[in-house]
C-alpha cells in the first residue's frame, strides 16, 4: 500500500513518522513546513513536490491540515490532490473541520472518482507522538474496514462513527466541547482553591481519583501548576473547533450555552497574545481577573 501524507504540522509530522516506523511506504508534502518535511524524508519518506505529485504516487492520501478551507485547497486548488489522482484514489481527511464542509468535499470528490472518509483525531501532540490518538471516522464502513489497521498505527482508539461523511467531525466537535468546558472548569476550581488558601497540588491529589477526575484534569492541571503553556493544542485551534461546533449547533437547533461562554474566554486570550499557548492557558483568563496565580 502506497500512502501519501499532506500536512506536517504539530500533529501531522509525528503521525507520518509513526507510519514510517510501521514500515509503510510514504510520500509526503507540506509547502509550509520545510523542516518537518526534511525530517520525515530523513526518516524514509519520499519527498513530494506538490499535492498532485503525492496523489500520483499513492493509493491512499492522509490530509492533516488546519481547517475546512485548507482541506478544499489541498484537494481542489491548482496542483491539488484531485489534479494528480488516479481513478479510485482514497482520501482520509484527519483534519478537524466543519461536518457539513466534510460532507460537501466528499461529494465533490465522488464526482471525480475519488473516495473520502473523515477521521479527525483527539489527544494532542503527546498522543500523536506515541501513536495513541483517538480517531473518529465517518464515511462508508467498507472504507473504514479497509484502513482500520493503517489508522491503528497512529491511534490507540479507532472508531467508526457513522456511514455519513462528517460523522467523524461531528463526534470530534462533541469531544472538543467537552474538553474545552472541562479545562475551563479545572481553571475555575483551582483558582478557587488557591484563593481560599488551599494548596492546588493537594486538591489535585485528593480529587483526581473521584468523580471529578478526568483525562483532561490529569493532562492539563499539572501544566497549569507548572506554568507550562507550551502548546500541545493551541488556543487558536480550539477557537476554530468551537466556532465549528457553534455553527453546527446553531444549524441543528441545539443550545450551546457553555460552549459560547468558553469561546469568549478563548477569544479574550487570543486578543491578549495567548493564541499560541496551550489551551490549558484558559487559566490565565481567571488569573487576569483575580491577580492570583495558580502554581505548585
Catalytic residues: 172
Those residues with Cβ within 8 angstroms of residue 232's Cβ, 6 or more apart along the chain or in another chain: 124, 125, 126, 219, 278
Cα 169 from Cα 68, distance rounded (Å): 11
Find the largest Cα–Cα distance for the chain: 65
How far is it, in rounded angstroms, from Cα 140 to Cα 115?
Answer: 9
Using alpha carbons, select from 196, 170, 195 the residue that is nearest to residue 292: 195
Phi, psi angles (nearest 5°) of residue 44: 125, -5
The CA radius of gyration of the chain, in Å to the nearest whole number, is: 20
Q: Specify the DSSP class assigned to residue 117.
A: E
Q: Which of 223, 195, 216 is nearest to 283 (CA)?
A: 223
Please enumerate in sequence order all residues whose Cβ is within 8 A of that of 93, keeping only pairs 6 or more positions apart, or say none.
62, 63, 71, 102, 105, 116, 117, 118, 119, 120
Give the whole-angstrom CA distance, residue 29 versus residue 238.
Answer: 25
Query: Could you tell me which residues come within 8 angstroms of residue 98 by beta carbon, excluding any fewer than 6 positions away?
Result: 68, 169, 244, 247, 248
Is residue 237 within 8 A of residue 266, CB to CB? The reply is: no
Amino acid at each position: 500500500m502506497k500512502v501519501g501524507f499532506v500536512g506536517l504540522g504539530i500533529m501531522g509530522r509525528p503521525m507520518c513518522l509513526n507510519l514510517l516506523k510501521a514500515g509503510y511506504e510514504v510520500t509526503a508534502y507540506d509547502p509550509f513546513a520545510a523542516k518537518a518535511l526534511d525530517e520525515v524524508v530523513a526518516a524514509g519518506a519520499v519527498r513530494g513536490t506538490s499535492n498532485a505529485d503525492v496523489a500520483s504516487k499513492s493509493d491512499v492520501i492522509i490530509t492533516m491540515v488546519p481547517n475546512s478551507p485548507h482541506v478544499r485547497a489541498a484537494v481542489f486548488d491548482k496542483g491539488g490532490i484531485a489534479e494528480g489522482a488516479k481513478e479510485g484514489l482514497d482520501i482520509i481527511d484527519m483534519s478537524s473541520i466543519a461536518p457539513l464542509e466534510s460532507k460537501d468535499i466528499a461529494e465533490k470528490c465522488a464526482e471525480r472518482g475519488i473516495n473520502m472518509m473523515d477521521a479527525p483525531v483527539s489527544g494532542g501532540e503527546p498522543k500523536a507522538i506515541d501513536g495513541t490518538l483517538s480517531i473518529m471516522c465517518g464515511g462508508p464502513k467498507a472504507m473504514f474496514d479497509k484502513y482500520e489497521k493503517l489508522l491503528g498505527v497512529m491511534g490507540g482508539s479507532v472508531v467508526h462513527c457513522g456511514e455519513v461523511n462528517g460523522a467523524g467531525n461531528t463526534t470530534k466537535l462533541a469531544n472538543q466541547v467537552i474538553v474545552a468546558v472541562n479545562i475551563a472548569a479545572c481553571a475555575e476550581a483551582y483558582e478557587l482553591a488557591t484563593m481560599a488558601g488551599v494548596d492546588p497540588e493537594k486538591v489535585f491529589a485528593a480529587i483526581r481519583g473521584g468523580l471529578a477526575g478526568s483525562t483532561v484534569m490529569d493532562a492539563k492541571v499539572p501544566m497549569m501548576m507548572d506554568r507550562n503553556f507550551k502548546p500541545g493544542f493551541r488556543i487558536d485551534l480550539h477557537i476554530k473547533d468551537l466556532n465549528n461546533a457553534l455553527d453546527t449547533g446553531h444549524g441543528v437547533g441545539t443550545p450551546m450555552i457553555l460552549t459560547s461562554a468558553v469561546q469568549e474566554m478563548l477569544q479574550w486570550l487570543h486578543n491578549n497574545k495567548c493564541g499560541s499557548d496551550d489551551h490549558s492557558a484558559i487559566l490565565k483568563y481567571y488569573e487576569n481577573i483575580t491577580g492570583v496565580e495558580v502554581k505548585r
